[in-house]
Amino acid sequence: MCTLIQKILDDKKAENIVILNLIGKTSITDYMIIASGQSSRQVGSIAEALQLELKSHDINTAIEGVPQCDWVLVDAIDVIIHIFKPEVREFYNLEKMWGVDLPKASVGS
């Protein structure tokens, strides 16, 4: 499923995509994907595209963070996708919580 999600994110021009393998580290999900969109509109568009495309593959999702779209979470059970505006991503720095550094391009953006 991560490959499908990464393709959707790439197609919608998401930036700084990070895939975290959390198997054995937490019971909430197997993978966490973190990506950035340059505006609230792009973040919302990416989340909507994910929801529609995953639904077409019979994968149910839940979305939180709309309509503000500074940070949208798409819960696909085995994979949780976080889509941030760059400054919000830098502020929360979820990668650090899981022991991964922010992608260089998003720091200070």
Q: What is the pLDDT along the chain (109 residues), one digit of tens a residue?
A: 999 999 999 999 999 999 999 998 889 999 999 999 999 999 999 999 999 999 999 999 999 999 999 999 999 999 999 999 999 999 999 988 887 665 665 444 4
With tokens 């502020």, the residue in question is 91
Residue 22 and residue 97: Cα distance in Å, rounded?
Answer: 12
What strands lie across the sheet with 15-21, from one edge to the other?
A: 15-21, 31-36, 79-84, 71-75, 62-64
Residue 32, strand partner residues: 20, 80
Architecture, CATH, for domain 2-97: 2-Layer Sandwich (3.30)
Identity at 55, one-letter amino acid code: K
What does the domain layout of the chain look like in residue ranges? 2-97
Residue 24 φ then ψ, to 5°: 85, -5
